[in-house]
Amino acid sequence: MKNKLGKIFLAIIIIMVIGCGVKIFTNREMIGTEIDSYSNVPVYYNGKIYTETYGENYGEDGYYYGYEWQCVEYVKRFYHQIKDHKMPDVYGNAKEFFDDSVPQGELNKSRDLVQYRNGESVKPEVDDLIVFTNSKYGHVAIVTEVKSNYIEVIQQNVYGKTREQYELVLEDGQYYVGTIQKPAGWLRKG
């Protein structure tokens, strides 16, 4: 009886290990596959580990987009392909896209985009590049929709969530995006 239970237990463990291996292998096979798109710019799957990278990605003209399938790579590829925009500073983590020293509505010279702060008088617009600075590397996304009470963004390298909505509140002439997770602000091509 004891030997039979041991064999059953061993069989269950083997099945679980094989199952996990198949699941991991399947997820790795998906990396780099298109999982969404906006304005015909694909969002690619980066896997469950957000710090993983799979090489560097460049435009046809040699412009550096960033590490494959990180959030920065997507927003730079989007702005290059849709807005014909090249950022002067091609490097940096997502949180470095927002420069605290740049006054409201002025040019962020590193990105060659006009910068707006969350909680000021200018609300986000469709195609703005929104910047979150409240984590180790930060996060960037593209605004796809603006309604009276929320915005929607598309993003790469957020496991299982290419689209996300954030509350938009107008209070005393100031626009506030987000409740728990709040962006520092947004950038716009002038």
pLDDT tens per residue, range 44-70? 999 999 899 999 999 999 999 999 999
Q: Is residue 35 scored above 70 in pLDDT?
A: yes
Cα(8)–Cα(114) distance, integer angstroms: 64
DSSP string, 147-190: -SSEEEEE-SSSTT-SEEEEEEEEETTEEEE-SSS--SEEEE--
93 pLDDT higher than 70: yes
Cβ(129)–Cβ(151) below 8 Å: no
Residue in this structure with the two tokens 């590490």, named with its chain if needed: 67
Render pLDDT for 124-144 as a digit per residue (tens, 0 to 9): 999 999 999 999 999 999 999
Q: What is the pLDDT of residue 101?
A: 99
- How high is the pLDDT of residue 15? 56
- Residue ranges per structural domain of the chain: 1-30, 31-188
User: Token pair of 120, please?
Assistant: 């000021």
Write the CATH number of the domain with boundaries 31-188.
3.90.1720.10
Beta strands in 17-149 (DSSP E): 34-38, 41-44, 56-58, 64-67, 106-108, 113-117, 129-132, 139-146
